[in-house]
Amino acid sequence: MIGVFICQCGTNISATVDTGKVAQAAAAMRGVADAESIQYACSDPGQAAIAAAIRHKRLDRVVIGACSPRMHEATFRRALDRAGLNPFMLEMVNIREHCSWIHSDVDQATEKAAGLVRKGIARVRHHLPLSAGKTAAVRRALVVGGGIAGIQAALDIAAAGIPVTLVEKSPTIGGNMARLDKTFPTLDCSSCILTPLMVEVKQHENIELMVNSEVDDVHGHVGNFEVDIRRKATCVDEKKCSGCMICQEKCPAKAPDDFNAGMGQSKAISVASPQAVPLVASLRKEHCRRFSGGKCRVCQKLCPAGAVDYGQQDEVVRQSFGAVVAATGYGFYDWTGAYPTYGMGLYPDVITSLQYERLLSASGPTGGHIRRPSDGAEPRQVVFISCIGSRDESVGRPQCCSVGCMYIAKQAILTKEHIPDSQSYIFYIDMRAGGKNYEEFARRAQTRYGTLYIRGRVGKIFPRWGKLVVMGTDTLVGDQVEIEADLVVLATGLTASDGAGGLARKFNISCDENGFMAEGHPKLKPVEAEAAGVFLAGACQGPKDIPATVAQAGAAAAKVIGLLSRGELETSPMVAAVSQSKCSGCFKCRDVCPFGAIEDERPAAGRTAARVLASLCRGCGICSAACPPGVISLSGYTDKQLLAEVVAALR
Amino acid sequence: MISFPISINEGARLLAEIEQRSGQRLSACYQCGRCTSTCVAAFAFDYPPHRLMRLLQVGMVREVLASKTAQLCLDCMTCSMRCPMKIDVAGVIETAKAVADEAGLQDTERNVRLFRRGFLNNVRRHGRLHEAGLLIWFNFKTNNPMNDVKLLPLVLRKKNFHIFPPRIKNRRQVRRLFREINGSGKQG
């Protein structure tokens, strides 16, 4: 006894598909006891109507023609369950995304919808009751990335009593936020609000902090990810080092200063910043004299704690996790290759916004005094250019970086505060100040701090008599603009961070065309990755500012806590099963299985057969397709079901 | 071509003067264009009001002072009423007009400036406007004595056109008013 329910979805479906006719056509099919059209099947009254039909007409299987199963399959399974039917006796037919939304001709769309429903009815006849299993979940979470997103997520998860491992690839946590001077729109000192959180991570009993570490390899699935974490050799024993920085002071080998975005210089062995957490030195072999053939061992000799160990090797640690939060943050667009007319990085006084941030910062290379790189002079005329590598299809980057407008306004304000007789100019295309108090903040940059906003893109920058001439346009006046600048700051756009793509592949997270990790649903699953048990926090999912990052990290943590708080997870019953008596033991299935879910077994003496480990099987069906004698079947997707569908479609 | 920094020319000084005398913050203008949308006289301007505000922002003060806009603005104040940033746009234009007159930067719309001068002198002298006197003075000043003479019978029949100057009480106080506003009483 089959019940067929055709949803009108308001006018989403009924405007293009005559749902009444579809229901009529369905009613004529063998085994259909009830077929009706419902205004909103997912609504309370809609579900009640389905439940009532199940009870009164003794339905034992249900076809619902509505939206995508990704949207509402779970809803209707629950409805069946409540009505006393096995929840897996449901077949959803997508007549919205696959029909009404993409067609305009009512007759043809109706015919197609009726055909799709016919397929569904043919398939549901072969449905069998299934039941979900349970599997234990490891009560430990992995957070990858130690920026503000990772820090917030780790703290929130740890606060719920769930142990967390926080993995950070660089020598200190804090990420990009630790390099910022002030934050918009309140001008809070960035490190003043971040450092306490960094210290809390270090001290929290539920958080294991692993810096200089990266995810090497991942096995398993939601509830039980087995992750190999590589702790890179830094030649410094983290437990012994006290962060006294004597080694950094005495090290004779200069090295680029990564923390200061290349402004100023560091040493081969160094502590990333005075506020680093953990406050531990690390040695970069590529810059060290000893590792480039020399005999220097100054740091080892002078270290009062005896923490320097040149023989240290990478160490791989394997840990199990129930859930994972990816918080890999963002990087800055490398403009030097793409904007030849801005000097390609050849003019020392054309710098990026992050470099300027380090010049503003009291912990930066100039101690918080704005000095331009070329001659150390204090700039008077400062030009900011927005949308570098953003909203620029000619360099393949159409997206808005979403924070540039605001951070430039902030930097212009700070410039005026540092140098009261300076003048800042901002070349912009549109000013985007959507957040709370953002518009007022950007307006203040103009009215109170005298920043001149010039609408237009800059054409070129060239040096002239010790200054930089910026050639642009003011589209509001309709004329060219020429500015003799002392310093030019480029507001480079945000990119996915280095290595985010590799990590995404390891956890089966899909990425969008810009390299940012894709959320499960743009509206309703903003923190869930497509892979079960993997969550996204912060700018790894897309450019965002600090408040949005912290909010998303909290949301991701809540999801992790929700997932792991019960201690066990429901598993999908739609897994593969081998009919062992017919298995020839060729193990093609084992070769193709992406989840390592097939093992060999000896059901009788003298022969081996494949067996599916239900807890690892994700129901992808590859084994079933690959099996030469065709003896592996996937519950819910049996050959019978699929063939019935095909036959119905071809009729 | 607009050149920065503007402190290298006199633009910055004049700009500061206009900001100070009008009491308006030019930087608050975000170029929404509502002033121009509502302006009834913009058809006759060389720069519509929002463009004039922008020119001031980027220091193109000379262009503004020499513009027709500064002379032709009717002072109807609609732009000031409608400005979302509460800028008194008409007040800015009015100030630009005064600064231009003082600096002798105006060489456009001679008749408009002449009429304005005659109007105010007339009011100062008589205490209120003497239309006939002003028109005759203006016609002779512009070498066009017969201008609008055809309309004379019509306005005489309406009986509110007076050949002789009006007499009001205490003309001296009006003159003092003029003196107190700006000493010379010569400009608007």
What pLDDT was estimated at residue A86?
Answer: 95
What pLDDT was estimated at residue B164?
Answer: 86
- How many contacts (CB atoms, under 8 Å) link A and B? 52
Q: Mutation target for B interface from A384, A419, A426, A446: give the one with most B CBs within 10 A.
A: A446
Residue A168, phi-psi category: left (phi > 0), alpha (psi -120 to 50), beta (remainder):
beta
A370 burial level (CB within 10 Å; 0-12, 13-18, 19+): buried
| Angstroms from B2 CA to nearest CA on chain A | 5
**Could you give the CA distance from residue A243 to residue A352 in angstroms, rounded to a whole number?**
30
What pLDDT was estimated at residue A567?
Answer: 86
DSSP at A377: P
What pLDDT was estimated at residue B7?
Answer: 57
**Could you give the CA distance from residue A403 to residue A432 in angstroms, rounded to a whole number?**
8
Nearest to A447 among B25, B55, B58 (CB): B25
Distances A638 to A69, A268, A611 between C-alpha atoms, Å = 18, 61, 17
| Angstroms from A408 CA to nearest CA on chain B | 17
ipTM: 0.76
Record: contact A477-B4, CB cut-off 8 A: no
DSSP string, A326-374: E---EEE---TTT-GGGTTT-STTEEEHHHHHHHHSTTSTTTT----TT
Q: For residue A365, is the peptide bond before it cis, meaning its omega torsion is within 30 degrees of 0?
A: no
Contacts of A525 (CB under 8 A, 6+ apart): A519
What pLDDT was estimated at residue B184?
Answer: 47
Strand partners, A624: none
Record: contact B2-A452, CB cut-off 8 A: no
Chain A's closest residue to B85, CA to CA, is: A443
Please enumerate residues of A whose Cβ is less than 8 A from a Cβ of B: 380-381, 423, 425, 443, 446-447, 450, 452, 454-455, 474, 476-477, 479-484
Chain A's closest residue to B3, CA to CA, is: A482
Record: contact A484-B60, CB cut-off 8 A: no
Residue pair A347/A461 in contact by the 8 Å Cβ criterion:
yes
Q: What is the dihedral of CA A60, A65, A68, A72, to 10 degrees?
A: -50
- B183 band by pLDDT with thresholds 50, 70 and 90: low
Instruction: Name the token pair of A508.
Output: 């089966």
CA A534 distance to own-chain centroid: 9
Nearest to A484 among B5, B31, B54 (CB): B5
**Could you give the CA distance from residue A371 to residue A359 in angstroms, rounded to a whole number?**
7
Q: What is the mean pLDDT of residues B73-83?
A: 93
Nearest to A476 among B1, B25, B54 (CB): B54
- B3 band by pLDDT with thresholds 50, 70 and 90: confident
| Angstroms from B173 CA to nearest CA on chain A | 41
**Could you give the CA distance from residue A207 to residue B43 in angstroms, rounded to a whole number?**
70
Q: Cβ of B4 under 8 Å from any chain A Cβ?
A: yes
**Which stretches of chain A drop beneath a pLDDT of 50?**
none
Contacts of B43 (CB under 8 A, 6+ apart): none
- Name the residue among A127, A117, A32 with its Cα closest to residue A649: A117
H-type helices in A537-596, by residue range? 546-564, 588-592
Record: contact B54-A474, CB cut-off 8 A: yes
Nearest to B1 among A425, A454, A480 (CB): A480
Record: contact A477-B2, CB cut-off 8 A: yes
Residues of B in contact with A433 (CB under 8 A): none
What pLDDT was estimated at residue A390?
Answer: 95
What separation, in Å, do the N-terminal and C-terminal C-alpha atoms of chain B show? 32
Nearest to B28 among A423, A447, A476 (CB): A447
Record: contact B58-A423, CB cut-off 8 A: no
Count of beta carbons in the 10 Å neighbourhood of residue A31: 12
- B9 band by pLDDT with thresholds 50, 70 and 90: low
Residues of B in contact with A472 (CB under 8 A): none
Nearest to B4 among A455, A476, A484 (CB): A484
SS3 of A175, please? helix
**Could you give the CA distance from residue A209 to residue A154 in angstroms, rounded to a whole number?**
10
A82 burial level (CB within 10 Å; 0-12, 13-18, 19+): middle
User: What is the 3-state secondary structure of chain B?
Assistant: CEEECHHHCCHHHHHHHHHHHHCCCHHHCCCCCHHHHHCCCHHHCCCCHHHHHHHHHCCCHHHHHCCHHHHHCCCCCHHHHHCCCCCCHHHHHHHHHHHHHHHCCCCCCHHHHHHHHHHHHHHHHHCCCCHHHHHHHHHHHCCCCCCCHHHHHHHHHHCCCCCCCCCCCCHHHHHHHHHHHHCCCCCC
CA A523 distance to own-chain centroid: 15
Instruction: Name the token pair of A428.
Output: 């912009």
Chain B's closest residue to A443, CA to CA, is: B28
Residue pair A225/A322 in contact by the 8 Å Cβ criterion:
yes
Contacts of B5 (CB under 8 A, 6+ apart): A380, A381, A423, A483, A484
Element (H, E) at A302: helix A298-302
**Could you give the CA distance from residue A574 to residue A576 in angstroms, rounded to a whole number?**
7
What pLDDT was estimated at residue B187?
Answer: 46
**Whole-prediction pTM:** 0.83
Distances A608 to A580, A600, A601, A602, A624 between C-alpha atoms, Å = 9, 6, 6, 5, 18
Count of beta carbons in the 10 Å neighbourhood of residue A313: 9
**Could you give the CA distance from residue A619 to residue A224 in angstroms, rounded to a whole number?**
17
Record: contact A474-B2, CB cut-off 8 A: yes
Element (H, E) at A456: none
What pLDDT was estimated at residue B188?
Answer: 43
Q: Cβ of B23 under 8 Å from any chain A Cβ?
A: no
Record: contact A381-B60, CB cut-off 8 A: no
Amino acid (1-letter code) at residue A552: Q
Query: How do A479-485 and A467-474 pair as beta strands?
Result: antiparallel
What pLDDT was estimated at residue B10?
Answer: 67
Residues of B in contact with A484 (CB under 8 A): 3-5
DSSP at A269: E
Chain B's closest residue to A448, CA to CA, is: B27
**Could you give the CA distance from residue A275 to residue A189 in angstroms, rounded to a whole number?**
13
Domains of chain A: 2-124 (3.40.50), 141-232+314-330+496-564 (3.50.50.60), 246-302 (no CATH), 334-492 (3.50.50.60), 576-634 (3.30.70.3270)
DSSP at A581: G
**Could you give the CA distance from residue A356 to residue A372 in angstroms, rounded to a whole number?**
9
Residues of B in contact with A469 (CB under 8 A): none
Nearest to B54 among A380, A477, A480 (CB): A477
Nearest to B5 among A423, A443, A474 (CB): A423
| Angstroms from A397 CA to nearest CA on chain B | 28
pLDDT at B185 over 60: no
Nearest to B57 among A443, A452, A482 (CB): A452
| Angstroms from B67 CA to nearest CA on chain A | 15
Give Rg (Cα) of chain B.
19
| Angstroms from B113 CA to nearest CA on chain A | 27
Angle at A145 between CA A544 and CA A207, to 5 degrees: 120
DSSP string, A378-431: PPSEEEEEEEETSSBGGGTB-S--SSHHHHHHHHHHHHHHHSTT-EEEEEESS-
Q: Mutation target for A interface from B27, B31, B32: give the one with most A CBs within 10 A.
A: B27
Chain B's closest residue to A439, CA to CA, is: B30
**Could you give the CA distance from residue A187 to residue A385 in angstroms, rounded to a whole number?**
21
Contacts of A66 (CB under 8 A, 6+ apart): A5, A6, A7, A9, A13, A41, A42, A72, A92, A93, A94, A95, A96
Nearest to B1 among A423, A443, A482 (CB): A482
Instruction: Name the token pair of A329.
Output: 């943050």
pLDDT at B92 over 70: yes
**Residue in the block written with tokens 């009613």:** A27
- B170 band by pLDDT with thresholds 50, 70 and 90: confident
Q: Cβ of B28 under 8 Å from any chain A Cβ?
A: yes
- Name the residue among A586, A634, A628, A630 with its Cα closest to residue A609: A586
Q: Cβ of B52 under 8 Å from any chain A Cβ?
A: no
| Angstroms from A352 CA to nearest CA on chain B | 22
Record: contact B1-A446, CB cut-off 8 A: no
Residue A470 phi/psi, 5-degree rounding, is -105, 115
What pLDDT was estimated at residue A232?
Answer: 95
What pLDDT was estimated at residue A152?
Answer: 98
Instruction: Name the token pair of A330.
Output: 């963002």
Q: Mutation target for B interface from A384, A428, A452: give the one with most B CBs within 10 A.
A: A452
Residue pair A230/A315 in contact by the 8 Å Cβ criterion:
yes
Q: Cβ of B54 under 8 Å from any chain A Cβ?
A: yes
**Could you give the CA distance from residue A350 to residue A551 in angstroms, rounded to a whole number?**
34
| Angstroms from A482 CA to nearest CA on chain B | 5
Nearest to A447 among B27, B51, B60 (CB): B27
